[in-house]
Structure 1
Amino acid sequence: MEMAANNIARIAALLTILVAVADPFSQQIIGIVPCILQMDVLTASVSRTNTYVATGGHTGALESEVDSPMAVAINTGLVSPPDRITSLVSTTCESGNCTFGQFSSLAVCHSCNEITPQIVNLTRARGPWNYSLPWNESEEYLGFTDIHLAPSTHMNTSVALSPRHLLDVRILSLNVTTYESANAFQCQLYPCVRTYEASVTKSILEENVTSKFPLGFDAFGGFRYVLATSNLTLSGEQKLDCSMRPTNNTAGLVRVAIPNVDAAPQEPQSSGSKAPSGWFPEECVWTFGQSPYLAIRPEIQRYLYDTSIQQYDNTYIGSIVAKNLWRNGAINLDSVDTFMRNLSDVMTARIRNASPNGAGDYVLGRVFLDTICVEVRWAWLSYPVALVASGFAFFLILFIQSPREIAALRSWKSSNLAILFCSLEEAVRQKAELGWFRDEISEVAKTSFVQLEQDGAGKAKFLEG
C-alpha cells in the first residue's frame, strides 16, 4: 500500500513539472496568417463582345474609314506592342485579385507557316544573289505579286486581300549569315472567336486561350463574318443553349449561314458558296461587321505592302515595321509568328473593349481580398490535451487507490500537530498520556494549553500554559 502511494506521489510530482512547460505550447495554438477571402460586395469584370461594328465613318461605295482606336491598335501592334498586352484589356478588379469563369469573345487570330521550298534561286554563276518567291496563279488568294531579293534588298513582302482573311502577307528574307540562301514565310489575320481562362493577381490580368475558331461569311448579311455554334457560348460559368431554332417563331433570332469551322484558316471559303443557314439566338451569333472589315484591311496593307530592308554600305534602311519584322537579320518562323501574334492580340483588345453594349457584355468574376486570419494550429493542442488527459487519469487512479474507510483516509498533507508535539514539555506529555497515533494527538490537542518559551538550553519548547 505504501509503495502504491509513493508511485502516485511521483506521478503527481511529474505532472506538476510537465504543467510548468505547457505555456509555450498553448501560445502556439493560435496563429495570425495571411489569407484570401471571397468578397461578394466587391465587383470584378473583364471585357468581351459578340459583335464588332466600330468604324470611322462611310467614305464611299464599299469604303469606310478605320475606327481611330483600331488605327492606334494596329500601329501599336506593329511598331511597339506592350510587354503585357493584357494591360490593354478593360478590366475591373477592386481588390487586385479576381477570377473569372471560362468565357468567349470575338477576336482576331493569326497563323504563320514557312514556305521556303517555294523560293526560286535565280543566282547566276557570276553575279549578285537573286532569289524570287513567285505567285502561283492557281491559288485563290488574289493580289499577291512576285517577290525578289536583289543584291541590296535583304527582305521584301507581298500582301493579298483575300475574301476569307483580313490580311495575307508573304515575306522573303535573305539569310544574312551565309548570304547563300533565303527564307520565306506566309501569315494570315482572320476574325475568330477565342475562349479564355482569365484571372487577376496583384492587379495584373493573366489570360490563357483554350480554343479559337475562325469565322466565315454570312451569306445573308453581305461582307460580314459570322460564327454560330453551341461550343463557344461560355460567359463566366453560364452556358447558353445555342442550338438552331425552328422557323415558326423567329423573335429574338438571327438568320445566318453556318460556316465550316473545321476548315483550316488558310483555306478560303468562297463568299458566293451556298452555305446552309439557320436561325440562332442573338447572343449565340458572333459578328465582325462589314464596315470594319472594309476599313481594317487597307489600313494593315498600308504598313505591310512592299515592306523592304535595303542595304547601303553597312546601313540597313527600312520602315520601323520592316525593321521590327526583320530583326537585324534574325528573322525566322518563331519571330514572324510572334510579330503577327502581337498585332492580333492588340487588335483583339480593342475589339473586346468596343462592345456595342459596353460593360453590359463584360464577364463578371469573383473578388478575393488579401487579409489576416486567425488560424488554429491543432497539432500544438496535443500537448495540453495530453496533460489534461493525464490529470484525469491521475485523479481516477487516486480515487481507486484511496481507502474506503473514513478513519483510515489518507491525507496528502498531514496535520502539523505531530511536529508541534515533538517540542512539547515532557510533563504535559505524561499528564495527557499521549500516544503516537494521529487521532490520539488530535484529541490531546483539543484539551491542552501551552505557550512557546525557551527551555534551560535556550531552545524553543512548548511549555504548559
Structure 2
Amino acid sequence: MAYIPAHDYSYNETRPGATHSTSEDEQRHPPAQQDYTAPETESLTSWDGQKGFSTIEYHQVNPYWNSATPMTTSHQRGWSGSTATVDIPLEQPYQYSDEKSLKKVRRPSSIRSWTLEIVTIILAIAAVGGIMGVLARFNDRPLPDWPYYITLNALIALLATVAIATMSISLQNGISQLKWIRFKESRVPLADMETFDEASRGTWGALKLLISARGGFLGSLGAVIAIVTLALGPFAQQIVTYQTRSIMIETPDSATIARALNYTGALPGETTPTGYVPILPLKSAVYNGLFAENGRPNAALKFGCQTGNCTWPSFETAGVCHECVDLTPYMSRYCAPGDEDIGCGWEVPQGAKLNNSAQVFSMTPLIPSVNGDMPHSTILKLIFMGTEAKNGLAGELKPWAQQCSLSACLQTIDSTVVNGVLNESVTNRVINQTVVDMTKHTEDADLAAYVTGADNATYTVGKEAMLSMRGWFSSLFATGSAVRTTSDSNRTITDNSVVVNLTVGISSGVTFFDSDIVTAFYWNYYEYKDNDGIDMLMADMATSMTVAFRSFMGAVPVSGQAISMQSFVHVRWGFAVLPIVIVAATALFLMAAIYRTHQSDTKPLKSSALAMLFHGLDEDVRTQLGSARDLDDKKRHARVIRVQLDDSDGKTLLRG
C-alpha cells in the first residue's frame, strides 16, 4: 500500500531562515510515486535538515491519482506546530496492484458466454448420433411398425432437421464472432462488417465470404461448413434404402404338393385286348401331353402355396419315364413285294419299315406281350422313321430312325413355385428292367411293376393299370404314316385320316396322315430343328401321365416351405460420412472461435445487433461517410475506409 504525507505548503509565504523555489522542470515532471511504508505518525524534517513542522499524519490513499474521488484536507497555516490530515475514501470496487489484474477486470471472457452454442452443438451431435443409432438398430431388419404410420424416413428427417437447426446457431454465432476478432486485431475495411454479417445469415453470404477470402482460414472453414450443411438432409435420407428378401414360412399347410406311392387306376373293359381300360384322367393326361404343346405338361397338378412362392425338398414318386435312342445306324434297305417299280424302302431290326421313298414318315408301336419280350415296366415303345432329315434339304433323301419308350418308373423331383407357377425337374430316374413272362404265372399272380426307392420304400404301378395302358395304347398309337405323292390322293380316307397342305420346316406340300397322332409327331420333328422334337413330345406325355399318377388314390402330400418376400432396411454407411464430418467440423469450428476470442481478448459479442449500435463509428469515420449520397455510395466508401475496434476508453468505438 502506498502512503503519502499531506502537507500544508504555503509557497507564497516566506519561511524564516529558509527559501525554496520550484523549477519549471519539476513542475513539468513531478517525482515518481514511491511505495513507502512508515509508521502512522512520523516527524519530517525540512529541506535543510531542520525540523520544519511538528507532526504529520499518514493515511492510506488510492494509488491511482486519476481517481475522481474528492479528497478532504484540513490544515493550519504556518510551518511550526501545524498538523495536516488527508482523508482518502477506501471504498473502491477493485484494488489490484498490477496492470495484468486490471486487464482481467476490464475484459472478462467466461465460457458461460458460449453456453448456448455449446448446448446446441451437443444437441446436434446427439441428433446425428441418434440417426446412426437408429440405423444401426434397424439395419438388415424388417421395416419397423410404429404407431400413427410413422416411418423410419420421417424419424431420420426429423433428427436431420434438429441437427441442422442446432448446428446453425453455433455456426452463425461463431462466424459473427470472427468479425469482432478481425476488427479488434487489425485495421480492416469497414465493408468486412457486412461481409461477415451476411455470411452468418445464409448460404449465399457464406459463399461470398469464401470467394472474397476475407475471413482468413477460420472464416473460410466456417463458410465451407455452412455451404456443405445444405447436403446434410439429403445425405441423411440416402443412408437408408429398402430392399426385399425371401423368408421361409414352415407351417403344415403353407406349402403342399402330392407324390404317388402307387398307381392302380383302371377299369374293366371289353374294348381292349387286355380286358382293362384307363380311367378318364389318364386319357386326358395323354391327350394333354400330345396336343397341348404349351410347355407346361404339369399344369394340371394341384398344389398348395400360401404366398405364391414355395419350395420343397427333393422327393420320390411313382411316375412315367421316357427314353429315346437313335436307330439310324441300324437301318437297312427293304423292298416290299410288288414295290420294286416305285423303289424300295428301309427297315430296322425291331420290325418297323418304310415301304418306299414316297412314305416320308412312319410310326410303328411295339406293345409288350404276355410272354415277356420286354421289361415288365415297359408300357409302350414307338419307332419313328423318315426319309427327309430335319437338318437336310427339301426333297433330299436322307433316311433316319428313332425309338422312344414309356415305362413305369420311380422319379426324384425338385419342385418350386415361383409367382404362382409350378416348376419341376426330374433329377433321377429308376426303371425296373426285370422281364416277366406272364404266361408262367397264374391269373391272380401279383404282377405289378415294383420299384424300390432310396429310403427302401416300394413304389407300385398295379397290374390292372399296366394292362389298361398297354391295351388302350395299342389302338391309340396304331401304325401310321405320312405320304406325299399325287397318287395317294385316291387312297381311302378313314375317320382318323388327315389330309393337309402342310408347310413345316423343310417339309411342304399336300400330305396324307393316317391319324392325328402321326401328324403330331411329324410336326414336332420338323418344327424344332435345334432340339429333338419327338423326344420333347414324349417327355411332355410322360410328365402329364405322371401328374395323373400323383392325382389319384395312392398319392400323399409333401410339406414344403412357403417363401415370403420381406422388405428390410439396408444401410449404406458411406452416405453417413458427410453428416458425421459436418457436425464434427462445426464442433471444431466453435472451439476454435472460443479460443480465438479468448486469445484476442475480444468481448463475445457474436451476432448481437445491439452491439453494432452500441459501438458505432467515431466522428472521423462518420464525417467521411457523410459525403456519400446514398447507401450504394456508402458501401463503396466502406470498402476503402479501414477501422479498428477500440475500447480503450470504455466506450468501444470503430475508429478510423
Query: Which bracket does the TM-score occupy, shorter chain normalised?
Result: 0.5 to 0.7
Residue aligning to 1:203: 420
Residue aligning to 1:86: 298
Q: Quickly say closer, same or farther: Cα 1:412–1:48, change in 2 above 3 A.
A: farther
Written as runs of structure 1 = structure 2, the 5 A alignment for 1:99-248 is 99-122=311-334, 127-135=341-349, 145-150=351-356, 153-156=359-362, 157-161=364-368, 162-164=374-376, 165-175=378-388, 177-178=394-395, 180-217=397-434, 222-230=446-454, 242=455
**1:16 Cα offset (Å):** 1.9
Secondary structure of 2:480's aligned partner: coil
Letter in 2 for 1:50: L
Secondary structure of 1:223's aligned partner: coil
- Asked if 1:364 is matched to 2:575, the reply is no
- TM-score where L is the length of structure 1: 0.67
Secondary structure of 1:104's aligned partner: strand
Residue aligning to 1:323: 519
**1:116 Cα offset (Å):** 1.9
Residue aligning to 1:55: 266
Kept after mapping to 2: 8 A contact 1:47/1:362:
yes
Unaligned stretches of 5+ in structure 1? 136-143, 231-241, 243-279, 426-434, 443-465
Kept after mapping to 2: 8 A contact 1:217/1:223:
no
Number of residues of Structure 1 aligned to a counterpart in Structure 2? 371
Q: Quickly say closer, same or farther: Cα 1:173–1:380, change in 2 above 3 A.
A: same
Letter in 1 for 2:320: V
**1:198 Cα offset (Å):** 2.3
Kept after mapping to 1: 8 A contact 2:263/2:461:
yes
Q: Quickly say closer, same or farther: Cα 1:40–1:188, change in 2 above 3 A.
A: closer
Residue aligning to 1:384: 579
**1:347 Cα offset (Å):** 0.7
Letter in 2 for 1:147: K
Letter in 1 for 2:235: F
Q: CA offsets, 1:172-229, max 9 Å, x none? A: 3233844644222111111222222222222111222222221355999832222224
Q: Quickly say closer, same or farther: Cα 1:181–1:46, change in 2 above 3 A.
A: same
Q: CA offsets, 1:63-121, max 9 Å, x none? A: 43312211221222233343311312222223222222222222211111111233222
What is the CA–CA distance in structure 2 between the aligned matches of 1:335 and 1:421, rounded to whole Å? Answer: 99
Instruction: After superposing the two structures, state which structure 1 stretch, 164-173 or 366-375, moved more.
Output: 366-375
Higher strand share: 1
Letter in 2 for 1:133: E
Secondary structure of 1:21's aligned partner: helix
- Asked if 1:413 is matched to 2:606, the reply is yes
Q: CA offsets, 1:318-338, max 9 Å, x none? A: 200011112298388812212
What is the CA–CA distance in structure 1 between the aligned matches of 2:357 and 2:611, rounded to whole Å? Answer: 124
Secondary structure of 2:342's aligned partner: coil
Letter in 2 for 1:208: S
What is the CA–CA distance in structure 2 between the aligned matches of 1:194 and 1:119, rounded to whole Å? Answer: 33
Instruction: After superposing the two structures, state which structure 1 stretch, 217-226 or 14-23, moved more.
Output: 217-226
Kept after mapping to 2: 8 A contact 1:44/1:91:
yes
What is the CA–CA distance in structure 1 between the aligned matches of 2:240 and 2:649, rounded to whole Å? Answer: 52
Kept after mapping to 1: 8 A contact 2:262/2:318:
yes
Higher helix share: 2
**1:393 Cα offset (Å):** 3.3
Identity of aligned residues (%): 19
Q: Quickly say closer, same or farther: Cα 1:116–1:129, change in 2 above 3 A.
A: farther
Largest Rg, 1 or 2 = 2
- TM-score where L is the length of structure 2: 0.49
Q: CA offsets, 1:432-459, max 9 Å, x none? A: xxx95379349xxxxxxxxxxxxxxxxx
Kept after mapping to 1: 8 A contact 2:301/2:551:
yes
Kept after mapping to 1: 8 A contact 2:229/2:582:
yes
- Displaced runs of 4+ in structure 1, greater than 6 A? 1-5, 58-62, 218-221
Q: Quickly say closer, same or farther: Cα 1:354–1:379, change in 2 above 3 A.
A: farther
Kept after mapping to 2: 8 A contact 1:196/1:210:
yes
What is the CA–CA distance in structure 1 between the aligned matches of 2:398 and 2:607, rounded to whole Å? Answer: 109
- 1:291 counterpart (464, 479, 488): 464
What is the CA–CA distance in structure 2 between the aligned matches of 1:22 and 1:88, rounded to whole Å? Answer: 57
Q: Quickly say closer, same or farther: Cα 1:199–1:421, change in 2 above 3 A.
A: closer
Written as runs of structure 1 = structure 2, the 5 A alignment for 1:30-69 is 30-33=240-243, 36-40=246-250, 43-57=254-268, 63-69=275-281
- 2:533 counterpart (335, 360, 367): 335
Kept after mapping to 2: 8 A contact 1:216/1:226:
no
Q: Quickly say closer, same or farther: Cα 1:90–1:382, change in 2 above 3 A.
A: same
Letter in 1 for 2:448: R
Secondary structure of 2:307's aligned partner: coil
Unaligned stretches of 5+ in structure 2? 1-177, 186-214, 369-373, 490-509, 620-644
